[in-house]
């Protein structure tokens, strides 16, 4: 895990609601498993942390694999909810896991506009990210 990804996890943890249980996962056996397993409002979700690297407008998502795309596809097909939290410069975007394949297609040319096009929501604060995910989980159960 990169230092930037560690910082993203730290930022997210600091805004975690008290009624949320979240665990950082580094699974070397089941490739593609997201970075964070969490439960809030009585429902479980998963979150993949990504940092967009590079200079200029177009940045790259490193270490984004076809196994991750497949994991999110299978989870969505089974009715589960997952997200990507993408750090782009100083901005952060919460992208639905159901957009995993499309995100993979643009992984070498990531822009804020592309993230929003994929259903991403810019989040200013960590508590806002948690609230958005909790709200989506409430609607599905």
Q: Domain of 58?
A: 3-140
pLDDT of residue 50: 96
pLDDT of residue 139: 85
CATH number at residue 100: 3.40.1350.10
- pLDDT at residue 28 tops 80: no
- pLDDT at residue 8 tops 90: yes
Reported as a single tens digit per residue, the pLDDT across 118-137 is 999 999 999 999 999 999 99
CA–CA distance, 1 with 108 (Å, rounded to integer): 19
Query: How many domains would you assign to the chain?
Result: 1
Tokens encoding 120:
């991403």
Long-range contacts of 68-76 (CB under 8 A, 24+ apart): 68/32, 68/34, 68/100, 68/104, 69/32, 69/100, 69/101, 69/104, 70/32, 71/32, 71/33, 71/34, 71/100, 72/34, 72/48, 72/97, 72/98, 72/100, 73/100, 73/101, 75/46, 76/100
Structure-model confidence comparison of residues 30 and 1, the more confident one: 30
């Amino acid at each position: 895990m990169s230092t930037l990804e560690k910082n993203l996890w730290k930022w997210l943890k600091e805004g975690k609601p008290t009624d949320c249980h979240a665990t950082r996962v580094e699974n070397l056996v089941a490739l593609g498993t997201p970075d964070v397993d969490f439960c809030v409002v009585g429902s479980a979700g998963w979150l993949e942390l990504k940092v967009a690297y590079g200079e200029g407008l177009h940045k790259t998502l490193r270490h984004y694999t076809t196994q991750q795309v497949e994991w999110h596809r299978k989870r969505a097909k089974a009715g589960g909810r997952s997200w990507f939290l993408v750090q782009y410069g100083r901005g952060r975007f919460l992208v639905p896991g159901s957009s995993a394949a499309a995100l993979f297609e643009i992984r070498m040319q990531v822009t804020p506009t592309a993230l929003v096009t994929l259903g991403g929501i810019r989040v200013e604060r960590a508590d806002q990210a948690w609230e958005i995910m909790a709200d989506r989980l409430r609607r599905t159960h």
